[in-house]
Amino acid sequence: MEVLLIGANRGLGYQVLKELLNKEITVNCLIRRKGQINFESKYLNIFYGDATNLSDLKKSIGNSKCIISTINVQRKNIFPWSRLINSKTTISDFAKSSIVASENNVNRIITISAWGVGDSIEQIPKLFKFLVRFSNLKYPYSDHAIHEKVIEGSNLDWTIIRPTALINERKYHDVKVYKENEKIIKMIIGRKSLAKFIVNIINDKTYFNKKIVLSRK
């Protein structure tokens, strides 16, 4: 199997990369700059470019049948009102380009959205709703909503994951997939455990063409 991974140089994307390599899956990583991934593997191919650029995506797809993306609109730091450091439309621009780039080889895409996007807005706490509406969190949330519609409208077997708050962890934990309108009990999920889940559902038809909310079990 061969997978194109977007966002592999940091956070959740880096954890997904490690999970894929542990399973000896060939990974094509599209990253912006040299040095962002500082190790080698016979299963790892690194390409340099912009994930929102169609030609860069096409050159990095190779023989991939699946795209996994953890791309996001980024802020300078975790403070909700901190300034953006990339485009407000980064996620949706990638989604649009990825659909075109997928026309010949790819039949599967898994993308990371956010808990609180779309109909899941009613599940999140009131304070978080305020931040989504009035802080700079509104930009990634707005773009995630557009990205979701783009992915849903494609002919690919897609899964859109809306994780609760991401945390770092040393050990794996179980994850819970929530039904629509089900009350969220634990509002966090470990990046390592989420990455394992993502890789495990690549070929799982249970999650084809579904939007799912995940948290720690």
**Taking the domains of the chain in order of start, what are their residue ranges?**
2-216
Are 112 and 164 contacting, i.e. CB atoms less than 8 angstroms apart?
Answer: no
Segment 23-44, tens digit of pLDDT: 999 999 999 888 789 899 999 9
Q: Which of 84-88, 93-97, 165-169, 179-183 has the lowest mean pLDDT?
A: 179-183
Are 8 and 37 contacting, i.e. CB atoms less than 8 angstroms apart?
Answer: yes
The pTM of this model reads 0.95
Average pLDDT of the residues of the chain? 94
The continuous run of DSSP H or E covering 55 comes out as helix 54-61
Q: Domain 2-216 in CATH: superfamily?
A: NAD(P)-binding Rossmann-like Domain (3.40.50.720)
Reported as a pLDDT band with limits 50, 70 and 90, residue 70 is: very high
Strands 175-178 and 210-216: antiparallel
Q: What pLDDT is attached to residue 8?
A: 94
Segment 124-135, tens digit of pLDDT: 999 999 999 999
